[in-house]
Structure 1
């Protein structure tokens, strides 16, 4: 694959400020973004047209789509996780997940893992989130190591990067 020179195929215009996260969601045909304007936005990955806007936060750090495609989930700078109905855009509920900003969200099966800027991780059961057992633990390095998943069989977090040995408590 030749990436030189890189060219913009189609800009995604709509956020009023910086965009903190962007990821392909669902079948990989849509893109979900989150930004400083407090919105999550779902874009058509083929046409770059805005499909839907999800409102509710002052500053949104990350957003993702639930595995079944029913909910858009956003992480804000106040430590809240916001849940929207993916079809209507209506806010379903707000979960106070951390005491500081949430820097990342990741679905692992029917559970949601949140990563706070303070180094805390939490694993939440869905559809209506509740803390799972003693899943809120402090990991010093693991939270800064990118993609991760929760291994339900061993109760540990697994990262894809060998330089991230963990957890460090």
Structure 2
């Protein structure tokens, strides 16, 4: 499955480089409809949300499909990255919002309050507060905490009262496998 191609497609839009973004690989009418699209802050990772309830990450350079997150109960109508690019969130037809860590794929938050489809989403500049709008006519500011790596390390160290093993750092703090997580 590839998101980018140099051929045109009836549902695609072509940019100045001649690359066409497909509706989540919906070639020849096969596959889910593309309902939402967001680009990571570094510009390297598009995320799509589909009618099948799946959020998929893509490689912008190659068009290759990456991780897929499919915990949504309904079609995905909105997708957004946190400003640091560490999380991606999706608003669904069923009124729920889900946020995943893009490295581990773990769900970071699942706030619910809307009674209609979540159609628009954004994050505050600090990345700590998702803002959503819904077909129910409401906008919500969510009290959700997305800790950064340092805050995560501190919380884990306080909970276990020791430094983490190399394997634990690789599992819970990607990118920290070689440095101590806990400082005395």
Give the alignment's TM-score, normalised by structure 2.
0.60
Could you say which residue in structure 1 is the equivalent of 2:140? 122
Larger radius of gyration: 2
Higher helix share: 2
Query: For 2:81, which of 54, 65, 72 is the aligned residue?
Result: 65
Counterparts in 2 of 1:65 and 1:5: CA distance versus 1, 3 Å? closer
Structure 1 regions of 5+ residues with no counterpart? Answer: 129-169
CA drift at 1:125: 3.1
CA drift at 1:8: 4.9
Rounded Cα–Cα distance in structure 2 between residues aligned with 1:9 and 1:115: 29
Could you say which residue in structure 2 is the equivalent of 1:87? 103
What SS is found at the alignment partner of 2:142? Answer: strand
The answer to whether structure 1 residue 18 and structure 2 residue 33 are counterparts is yes
Counterparts in 2 of 1:36 and 1:27: CA distance versus 1, 3 Å? same
Rounded Cα–Cα distance in structure 2 between residues aligned with 1:41 and 1:56: 12
Q: How many residues align?
A: 126
Could you say which residue in structure 1 is the equivalent of 2:6? none
Give the alignment's TM-score, normalised by structure 1.
0.65
Residues 25-59 of structure 1, C-alpha deviation per residue, up to 9 Å, x if partnerless? Answer: 12112111101111111111111111211110131
Rounded Cα–Cα distance in structure 2 between residues aligned with 1:78 and 1:4: 33
Report the RMSD for the aligned CA atoms in angstroms: 2.6
